[in-house]
């Protein structure tokens, strides 16, 4: 009868356990990585829009304040980020807010082509309403 080498069995069990844990960590990391990118883009877009509407009040003290009320994200591969403002603004100012949001997201290091931000995973389109 052959004796089992306890050290060898322990090493094999340890390798299996570490491999199993590594697989679980990699699965959760891939899920968290996608969500982290979307959260970063949304936060930057909102920050850019907030800075633009704040700048309007600082430059023109007779202007009524406008706030960023909500930010929603829709879509799977092609995501649309909709930034809703508290009041209707002029088309020129809306374009200024949009460019400020796009520049803020562009500063994260993604590729910008016109009004579309492209990452390795998604394409983001930002819209300003109303």
Spell out the long-range contacts of 101-104 with Cβ–Cβ below 8 A and sequence spacing 24 or more: 101/44, 101/45, 101/46, 101/48, 101/49, 101/52, 101/126, 101/128, 102/45, 102/48, 102/126, 103/48, 104/44, 104/45, 104/47, 104/48, 104/51
Instruction: Please report, in tens digits, the pLDDT of each residue of the chain (130 residues total).
Output: 455 555 566 677 888 888 889 998 888 877 777 778 889 999 999 999 999 988 887 877 667 788 899 999 998 889 999 999 998 888 898 999 999 999 999 998 888 888 899 988 899 999 998 8
101 in Cβ contact with 126 (< 8 Å): yes
Q: Domain boundaries in the chain?
A: 7-129
What is the pLDDT at residue 81?
A: 93
What is the pLDDT at residue 42?
A: 92
What is the pLDDT at residue 7?
A: 59
What is the pLDDT at residue 6?
A: 59
Q: Classify domain 7-129 by CATH number.
A: 3.30.460
What is the pLDDT at residue 2?
A: 53
């Amino acid at each position: 009868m052959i004796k089992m080498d306890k050290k060898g069995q322990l090493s094999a069990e340890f390798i299996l356990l570490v491999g199993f844990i590594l697989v679980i960590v990699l699965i959760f990391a891939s899920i968290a990585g996608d969500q982290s990118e979307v959260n970063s883009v949304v936060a930057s877009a909102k920050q850019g829009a907030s800075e633009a509407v704040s700048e309007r009040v600082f430059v023109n003290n007779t202007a009524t304040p406008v706030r960023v009320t909500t930010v929603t994200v829709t879509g799977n591969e092609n995501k649309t980020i909709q930034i809703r403002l508290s009041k209707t603004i002029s088309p020129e100012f809306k374009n200024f807010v949009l460019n400020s949001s796009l520049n803020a997201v562009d500063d994260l290091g993604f590729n910008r082509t016109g009004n579309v931000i492209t990452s390795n995973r998604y394409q983001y389109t930002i819209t300003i309403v109303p």
